[in-house]
């Protein structure tokens, strides 16, 4: 079973200094389980990616891997706000269309498609973020964009995994990215949901 997981820095495992993120934890779990070694987890996370960048690279990274399950963990960067320009990185309308296009492209490979919802932020550290003083992440916007992900997934008949209450503020390394404990919680939630769906 080839499981291809697309996303941003959360998929890449940024700030998990112990095991390299929830996707790596998923890979290690199945590799170490003798009865499930036919499950191959492929990580395709790029820090800073929004749905637009993901659309541009999706086919090129999917074709050589022959995915049987496709997981999307994307949207946090779309939900960010550039204060000096008074605009979102991605408008809600464009975000919705990008998600629908991702599903359309993914359907060419498999019907087993999953969206992982967004985690929340510690706004005392993300308005602005320390690495870019013009970039803001707020929980109200993360809520709105997460709702769009859920609604599009429901409309298109694909799975959605809710992370809104999985990662606590204490599980955030810098106000936005989960630390090792946060990634462990995401791993446990995603693993359980994928197994319930019968996708792994």
User: Tens digit of pLDDT for each residue in 80-133?
Assistant: 999 999 999 999 999 999 999 999 999 999 999 999 999 999 999 999 999 999
* pTM attached to this predicted model: 0.97
In this prediction, residue 37 has a pLDDT band, given cuts at 50, 70 and 90, of confident
C-beta of residue 88 within 8 angstroms of C-beta of residue 79: yes
Q: Which long-range contacts link 122-131 to residues 24+ away (Cβ below 8 Å)?
A: 122/169, 122/172, 122/175, 122/176, 123/175, 124/175, 125/172, 125/174, 125/175, 125/176, 126/175, 126/176, 128/83, 129/174, 129/175, 129/176, 130/174
C-beta of residue 35 within 8 angstroms of C-beta of residue 73: no
Which CATH number fits the domain that encloses residue 32?
3.40.50.1110
Strand, helix or coil for residue 36: helix
151-187: per-residue pLDDT in tens? 999 999 999 999 999 999 999 999 999 999 999 999 9
Q: Which domain holds residue 100?
A: 2-197
7-28: per-residue pLDDT in tens? 999 999 999 999 999 999 999 9
Instruction: State phi, psi for 150 to the nearest 5 degrees.
Output: -60, -45
Who contacts 48 (Cβ-Cβ below 8 Å, separation ≥6)? 8, 9, 77
Number of domains in the chain: 1
Residue 166: the pLDDT is: 99
Residue 29: the pLDDT is: 95
Cis peptide upstream of residue 138 (ω within 30 degrees of 0): no
Distance, in Å, from the CA atom of 3 to the CA atom of 187, rounded to the nearest integer, reads 14
Strands lying side by side in the sheet with 87-88: 87-88, 81-82, 135-136
Q: What percent of the chain has pLDDT over 70?
A: 100
Who contacts 94 (Cβ-Cβ below 8 Å, separation ≥6)? 52
Who contacts 82 (Cβ-Cβ below 8 Å, separation ≥6)? 88, 89, 134, 135, 136
């Amino acid at each position: 079973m080839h499981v291809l997981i697309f996303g941003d820095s959360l998929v890449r495992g940024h700030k998990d200094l112990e095991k390299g993120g929830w996707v790596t934890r998923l890979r290690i779990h199945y590799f170490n389980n003798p009865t499930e070694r036919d499950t191959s987890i492929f990580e395709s996370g790029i820090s800073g990616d929004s749905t637009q960048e993901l659309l541009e690279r999706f086919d090129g990274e999917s074709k050589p891997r022959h995915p049987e399950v496709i997981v999307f963990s994307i949207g946090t960067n779309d939900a960010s706000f550039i204060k000096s320009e008074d605009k979102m990185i991605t408008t809600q309308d464009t975000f919705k269309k990008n998600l629908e296009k991702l599903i359309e492209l993914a359907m060419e490979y498999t019907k087993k498609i999953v969206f992982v919802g967004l985690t929340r932020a510690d706004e005392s550290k993300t308005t602005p973020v320390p690495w870019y003083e013009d970039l803001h992440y707020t929980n109200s916007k993360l809520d709105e964009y997460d709702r769009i992900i859920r609604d599009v997934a429901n409309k298109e008949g694909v799975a959605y995994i809710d992370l809104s209450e999985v990662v606590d503020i204490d599980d955030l390394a810098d106000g936005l990215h989960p630390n090792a404990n946060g990634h462990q919680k995401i791993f446990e939630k995603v693993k359980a949901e994928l197994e319930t769906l019968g996708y792994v």
